[in-house]
Structures are given as structure tokens and as C-alpha cells.
């Protein structure tokens, strides 16, 4: 393609039509792109629906950019909150088992 020579990736799903169906390579390509798109769109759902971010509130690019970066950072933390809880519980369990008895010090 003309874009590949310029280093631009084409990330649109491939389509079949009535006379030429998608082959297995195209189906796998579409599946890979759809998985990536789904992961990215979850953060947008959190920002737009959970925190009702619909419009920019400030004049100036710096303030808006700062707010959006903060919202997406919080959205990523929100999405991995259950993983963090499990990791915290494992850490607490390991530190509880590894504590030394203060009376047994040499």
C-alpha cells in the first residue's frame, strides 16, 4: 500500500463481501485488532460514564490535557482494582508469615 512506505499502519478491520469471503489470515487480523480496540475502549467507558466526562471544562490546552491524563490514570487504576486487591492480600499474607518474633532476637 502507499501508506506502508511512509510508516503508517492501517488498523481498520478487513471486510469480506458476497463473492469473496475473508480467509483465515484476515479473520485472525480482525480478531487481534478487535481485542486491542476492546481493551482501549474500556477506559473510555469508565471516564465517560462513571465520571460523566462529556465536555472540556477549561480554556487552554494544558489544563484540558492535564485533566484528561489524570482521568485516564484513575480509570486504569479503577479497571485493575481487583488485581491490586489480590496482590495486596498476598503481600499482607507473606509479610505476616515472615515476621520474626521480637523475643527470639540474638
Q: Going by C-beta distance under 8 Å and a sequence separation of 6 or more, which residues neighbour residue 79?
A: 42, 43, 46
What is the model's pLDDT at position 73? 92
> How far is Cα 60 from Cα 63, in angstroms, rounded to an integer?
6
Q: How is the chain split into domains, by residue range?
A: 4-98
pLDDT one-digit tens code per residue, 33-52: 999 888 888 888 888 888 88
Tens of pLDDT along 65-83?
888 899 999 999 998 999 9
What percentage of the chain exceeds 90 in pLDDT?
Answer: 22
Assigned C-alpha cell, 66: 492535564
For the cut 90, the answer to whether the pLDDT of residue 24 exceeds it is yes
Question: For 33, phi and psi rounded to 5 degrees?
Answer: -65, -40
Residue 27 has pLDDT above 90, yes or no: yes
pLDDT of residue 100: 59
Amino acid at each position: 500500500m502507499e501508506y506502508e512506505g511512509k510508516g503508517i499502519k492501517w488498523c481498520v478491520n478487513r471486510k469480506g463481501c458476497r463473492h469473496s469471503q475473508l480467509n483465515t489470515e484476515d479473520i485472525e487480523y480482525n480478531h487481534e485488532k478487535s481485542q486491542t480496540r476492546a481493551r482501549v475502549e474500556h477506559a473510555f467507558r469508565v471516564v465517560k460514564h462513571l465520571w460523566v466526562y462529556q465536555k472540556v471544562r477549561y480554556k487552554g490546552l494544558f489544563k484540558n490535557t492535564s485533566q484528561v491524563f489524570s482521568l485516564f490514570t484513575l480509570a486504569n487504576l479503577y479497571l485493575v482494582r481487583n488485581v491490586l486487591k489480590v496482590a495486596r492480600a498476598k503481600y499482607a499474607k507473606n509479610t505476616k508469615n515472615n515476621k520474626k518474633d521480637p523475643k527470639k532476637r540474638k
